[in-house]
Amino acid sequence: MNAIAANELKTRGVSALDEGLQNEPEVMITVRGKNQYVVMRIEQYHYLREMELEAALLEVRQDIKNGHVMRESAEAHVNRISEE
């Protein structure tokens, strides 16, 4: 992953990010020599969010398959979590 120092980003702006993102999906921004932020193109962000949602859906389906679910009314749910 490419890294850009915060000072370089400050002086060069978005062009430094564009350059860094030409061959990599993400660019690390360092502050005082430490990795602090990651910047990515919006398409990469949307892809990662979609994968995150797919993983959550898979987890829920697995919970349903394994019987790790409760069926109850909203009122019963609120009462149950209020007591915990």
Binned average pLDDT, 10 residues per bin, the chain of 84 residues: 93 95 95 96 97 98 95 94 86
Which domain CATH number covers 32?
3.40.1620.10
Q: Is the pTM of this model over 0.95?
A: no
* Residues 56 and 30 occupy one common structural domain: no
* Residues 56 and 36 occupy one common structural domain: no
* Residues 32 and 56 occupy one common structural domain: no
Contact predicate 40/25, CB 8 Å: yes
Q: What would the two tokens of residue 26 be?
A: 């993400």
Contact predicate 4/35, CB 8 Å: no
Q: Number of structural domains, the chain?
A: 2
* Residues 6 and 34 occupy one common structural domain: yes
Give the C-alpha separation, 26 to 29, whole Å.
10
Q: What angle do CA 46, 49, 53 make, to 5 degrees?
A: 135
Q: What is the pLDDT of residue 84?
A: 76
Range of the domain at 16: 2-40
* Residues 78 and 47 occupy one common structural domain: yes
